[in-house]
Amino acid sequence: MTRVILCCSGKGGVGKTTLSANLAVALAELGQDVIVVDGNLGTPDLGMHLGLTFAPNTIHDVIKRRKRLQSAIYPHPLGFRVIPGSLKFRDVLDVDFDALPEVTLNLLGRADFIIVDCSAGLGPNTLAGIRAADEVLLVTNPNLPAVTEALKTLKLINAEGKKVLGVVLNRVGKEGDLKKEQVEELLEAPVVAEIPEDVNVPRSIAVRKPVVAYRPRARAALEIRDLAYELCGEKPPERKGFWVSLVERLLRLFGR
């Protein structure tokens, strides 16, 4: 059965595209068949996060009925498939958001997971994204303005009757931020991942390779991988502390 999971948020710039791109990599590593879709039809940039250099057909072409869906699905070297958005000004200017659910509907049965990267806020793009999915990951940064906006989006998700898989806290670890328990109390939803603030994320975006593949041992990568295990219903492997794994690696190096 295909699971359609939306990554959405209240505030913009909290890490939806980073999560979508990296979940695609991590789920593919776990042997899942994944299609990641740029459902942020107004400001699409998933292709950039993924280093997709040649993609003449986009979700915008499909929605505008200029191209067939199949022709906008590209294989990615990291083992999943991508439907990118258009970078052309005209394409994003007059796009029918309401056509997004039809796109995911037509993808059912073609993969194990359809990950949809979405827009922020409560506008028509977000509403269409929610309608296009069965399950939702609500991404937020752990600060009061972001969580307040997340609460509004959560109300929209609930009003549409969609299943909230949980809240993904991204960029965790900054001074003065809310704690996991505080976010859970405010949103009345479980926090399913806490992705730390990690300089490897902007570095990975700069080289257009998701951090899970760019720096597999980076703390942000490990946390996203754990979430991928959980989405597959598997227990993430236990993480060893830095010193324990260093000693183990040294012992291996010396043949012990």
> How far apart (Å, rounded) are the C-alpha atoms in residues 6 and 16?
9
Q: How far is the CB of 250 from Mg ion (least distance, A)?
A: 41
Q: How is residue 220 annotated by DSSP?
A: H
Strand partners, 3: 113
Q: Looking at beta carbons only, is 8 or 193 nearer to Mg ion?
A: 8
Token code pair at residue 126: 């977000």
| From 27-35, 75-83, 183-191, 192-200, span contacting ligand ADP (CB under 6 A) | 192-200
Three-class DSSP labels, 85-109: CCCCHHHHHCCCHHHHHHHHHHHCC
Q: Binder to ligand ADP among 187, 201, 213, 222 (CB under 6 A)?
A: 201
Query: Binding-site residue total for Mg ion (CB under 5 A)?
Result: 2
Q: Looking at beta carbons only, is 180 or 208 nearer to Mg ion?
A: 208
Q: Output the DSSP codes for 40-90.
A: --SS--HHHHTT-----S-HHHHHTTSS-GGGG-EE-TTSSEEEPPP--HH
Query: Binding-site residue total for ligand ADP (CB under 6 A)?
Result: 17
Q: How far is the CB of 147 from ligand ADP (least distance, A)?
A: 14
| From 10-18, 125-133, 155-163, 184-192, span contacting Mg ion (CB under 5 A) | 10-18
Phi, psi of 226 (to 5 degrees): -60, -40
Q: How far is the CB of 16 from Mg ion (least distance, A)?
A: 5
Q: How far is the CB of 155 from Mg ion (least distance, A)?
A: 21
Query: Which residues are CB-contacts of 23 (< 8 A; sequence separation ≥ 6)?
Result: 5, 7, 34, 36, 115, 224, 227, 228, 231
| From 9-17, 72-80, 83-91, 187-195, span contacting Mg ion (CB under 5 A) | 9-17
Residues that bind ligand ADP (CB under 6 A): 9, 12-18, 170-171, 195, 197-198, 201-202, 205, 220
